Amino acid sequence: MAAVDCESKDDNATNLSETLVFSNETVKTIEEHETSGIPLQSSWTFWLDKAISGTTVEEYKENLTKIYTVNTVQSFWAVFNNIPSVSAVQVRYSYHLMRDERYPLWEEPVNQNGGTWRLKCHKSDTEKIWKEMVLAAIGEQFAECVAEEDEVCGITVSIRDREDLVQIWNTNATLASKATILNKIHSLLPNVNFSEFYKPHQSHHAYGRR
């Protein structure tokens, strides 16, 4: 039902979404970059969510926080540098960077036939992996690593109790075996260790739960 599996453990930390309200000055800077910056091939949207066990698809969707949609390199950096870094994100929260304005939701029509390459990583490596993956995504570095009828459409980082999880979303799970995404990731992060596997959205036990 959601972009990541929920965990039952709760925490009493301050709601991270409360820290994501940009100042008027920051918004002005982002908007200026949107009109004068180097355009991206497609727009990308930052999202935030907190994993809560037992939520329905609609409840998950309603609880998502849309941070900002960016269309240029400069506006991407203006947003990226003004949200809490991954190292400051609390357990059970996730950042998503999704192509266009699609929701980070398995069941969305544009997502439902896809899946994710899932990288379980040490917390000391999470921030580096997240940064490299979002830069590769907005720079369309994954385009040559997937089949012609496939596309990378999102990046997720999920903060968990032990190992964190970074996911690379694609639109067609049946073509994942033809992709060289993992080779690309290893070339971008040659000195970083993580466990890796691919999982179609529809294989999740919670997919479509109402």
Output the pLDDT for position 209. Answer: 67
Domain spans in the chain, listed from the N-terminal domain onward: 34-203
Q: What is the pLDDT of residue 92?
A: 94
pTM for the model: 0.91
DSSP assignments along 35-89, one per residue: HHSPEEEEEEEEEEEE--TT--HHHHHHH-EEEEEEEEHHHHHHHHTTS--GGGP
Question: Given phi > 0 = left and psi -120 to 50 = alpha, else beta, which region is 124?
Answer: alpha
Structure tokens at 48: 């935030």
What pLDDT is attached to residue 107? Answer: 95
- pLDDT tens per residue across all 210 residues of the chain: 454 444 433 444 456 767 777 889 999 999 999 999 999 999 999 999 998 888 888 999 998 999 999 999 999 999 999 999 999 999 999 999 999 999 999 999 999 999 999 999 999 999 999 999 999 999 999 999 999 999 999 999 999 999 999 999 999 999 999 999 999 999 999 999 999 999 999 999 888 764
Gap between the Cα atoms of 7 and 53, Å rounded? 6
pLDDT recorded at residue 14: 52
Distance, C-alpha 123 to centroid of its chain: 16
Q: What is the CATH number of domain 34-203?
A: 3.30.760.10
